Amino acid sequence: MQGLQSNLHDRIEVQEPPVIASSRRRLVLMVSCCTLVSAAAQILMKIGMTRLTHVDVWALATNLPLITGYALYGLFCLMMILALRDGELSLIYPIISLAYIWVTVCSYFLFHDTLNPLKLVGILSVILGVAMLGRQKADL
């Protein structure tokens, strides 16, 4: 019985009111922008780590990329907490995978990583997946 009820629930949700659909779309867009911050943080951490030849307090305290990276990561976490307050976990959490895509794209330009057709298909697929989560007309 409960299964049937939740099934009905899901079907009703497919035609969600326009107001909810547009706020969901906005949330997906906002979280997508936040992943840029996370990607920037990860790249700065990588740059900082490669500069770090030995670990001591002075080397850590003067490593600007590393410090900025951690600060940006903290900012990203704060933004995610705020997003989670208003949005569904099952909607927001998968969007964070976009950060991985930005890092892959930036690594091509910054660290001369290779890009191949398989990677490009993957990048496209993740972006399509996030777009699907933000789709206003949930008629699929």
Interacting residue ranges for other proteins, rule: CB under 8 A: 9-10, 13-14, 77, 80-82, 84-85, 88-91, 93-94, 97, 100-101, 104, 116-130, 132-133, 135, 138, 140
Query: 114 and 108 in contact (C-beta within 8 Å)?
Result: yes
Q: Residue 88 and residue 120: Cα distance in Å, rounded?
A: 29
Q: Tell the smallest beta-carbon distance from residue 28 to other proteins (Å).
A: 9
Q: Tell the smallest beta-carbon distance from residue 67 to other proteins (Å).
A: 18
Q: Tell the smallest beta-carbon distance from residue 29 to other proteins (Å).
A: 14
Q: Is residue 73 helix, strand or coil?
A: helix
Q: Which is nearer to other proteins, 65 or 93 (CB)?
A: 93
Alpha-helical (H) ranges within 1-116 are 2-14, 18-51, 57-61, 64-86, 89-95, 98-110
User: Closest by alpha carbon to 70, among 50, 46, 99, 94?
Assistant: 46
Q: Tell the smallest beta-carbon distance from residue 131 to other proteins (Å).
A: 8
Q: Which is nearer to other proteins, 62 or 113 (CB)?
A: 113
